[in-house]
């Protein structure tokens, strides 16, 4: 299975918006299976973006549900860098057109740099 940064962004936004523990099930996010969601939650948890993440599987390896308590400090920082639809669209298109795929760190740096440029342009500096 491949990492999908659009799904990572969607999950971060969903988790941040939850008032308490969030439980993902089969129909949680359009276009993605629960196995896709569970895989990405495990990746995000192992990278320190989440806390209280848990996934349950059947004996055949099919995800039953995935739960998350919330975002970690790093998760909030990463989401803040990629949250803006304008910044995300420009950055993800540029990354796709130049290098195809890259790391969370590079994506965060690109989005932060782009956001800073937009803010400076708005301020006239």
Look up residue 64 and give its DSSP letter.
Answer: E
Looking at residue 21, its pLDDT comes to: 95
Looking at residue 25, its pLDDT comes to: 86
Q: For the segment 61-71, what is each residue's pLDDT rounded down to a tens digit?
A: 999 999 999 99
Looking at residue 112, its pLDDT comes to: 92
Q: Looking at residues 28-51, what average pLDDT do you find?
A: 94
Distance CA 66, CA 28 (A): 10
| β-bridge pairing 50-51 and 22-24 | unpaired
> With 80 as the cut, is the pLDDT of residue 27 above it?
no
Domain definitions of the chain by residue range = 5-72, 84-123
Distance CA 79, CA 93 (A): 18
> With 90 as the cut, is the pLDDT of residue 88 above it?
yes
Q: What percent of the chain has pLDDT over 70?
A: 100
Looking at residue 66, its pLDDT comes to: 95
- Give the closest residue to 14 by CA, choosing from 26, 25, 6, 22: 22
Looking at residue 51, its pLDDT comes to: 95
Distance CA 57, CA 106 (A): 32
Can you give the pTM of this predicted structure?
Answer: 0.90
CATH architecture of 5-72: Orthogonal Bundle (1.10)
Looking at residue 58, its pLDDT comes to: 94
- Give the closest residue to 75 by CA, choosing from 12, 5, 118: 12
CB neighbourhood size of 26 (10 A) = 14
């Amino acid at each position: 299975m491949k990492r999908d940064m659009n799904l990572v962004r969607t999950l971060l936004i969903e988790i941040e918006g939850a008032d308490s523990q969030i439980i993902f099930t089969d129909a949680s996010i359009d276009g993605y299976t629960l196995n896709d969601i569970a895989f990405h939650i495990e990746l995000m948890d192992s990278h320190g973006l989440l806390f209280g993440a848990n996934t349950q599987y059947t004996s055949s390896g099919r995800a039953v549900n995935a739960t998350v308590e919330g975002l970690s400090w790093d998760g909030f920082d990463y989401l803040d860098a990629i949250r803006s639809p304008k910044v995300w669209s420009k950055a993800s298109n540029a990354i796709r057109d130049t290098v195809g795929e890259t790391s969370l760190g590079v994506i965060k740096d690109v989005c932060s740099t782009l956001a800073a440029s937009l803010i400076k342009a708005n301020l006239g500096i």
